[in-house]
Homo-oligomer: A and B are copies of this chain.
Amino acid sequence: MDRVPILKIGDILLVSIQIDMEDQVALQLQEDLAERIVATGCHGVVIDISALDIVDSFVGRTLATIASISRVLDAETVVVGMRPAVAITLVELGLSLPGIRTALNVELGMELLARARDEGVNEDGDAEDEPGTPAVPAP
């Protein structure tokens, strides 16, 4: 019954991963996080991995899946706190975590999300005039 707690701080959900990411834990986290995003309407997810000594391909894939699920639910994900040794090993393994935003620590991650949100709002405002997304007239 190992479960990673999800903490809500303002508009952001914070996850501090400290236990080994086994299959069941990863699936449970994905499910819990999706439910919390919907329940709270949060627009950002910060995942702290400063406690992890090793990030293998499974953990990398789990993080990517979480980021994708969050994106579908209109929340941006930032992975923070990666140790230098973990970064080196990841790249040596050929894993560069594509599609995952990173920041040095929780504070910088939260700033990044706040900035991304502001820019996103502006982009949405401009998007109305783009030719690629024409308004569908009601039948």
User: Which A residues lie at the B interface, using CB under 8 A?
Assistant: 1, 3-5, 7-10, 14, 16, 18-19, 48, 50-51, 53, 81, 105-107, 110
CA distance A132 to B105 in the complex (A): 44
- The number of times this chain is found in the oligomer is 2
Contact of A8 among B14, B18, B106 (CB under 8 A): B106
Q: How far is the CB of A18 from chain B (nearest CB, A)?
A: 5
- Chain B: minimal CB distance from A99 (Å): 24
- In the bound complex, residues from chain B placing their C-beta under 8 Å from that of A105 are 7-8
Distance, CA A95 to CA B91, complexed state (A): 49
Please, which residues of chain B bring their CB within 8 A of the CB of A107? 8-10
Can you name the residue of chain B whose Cβ is closest to the Cβ of A8? B107
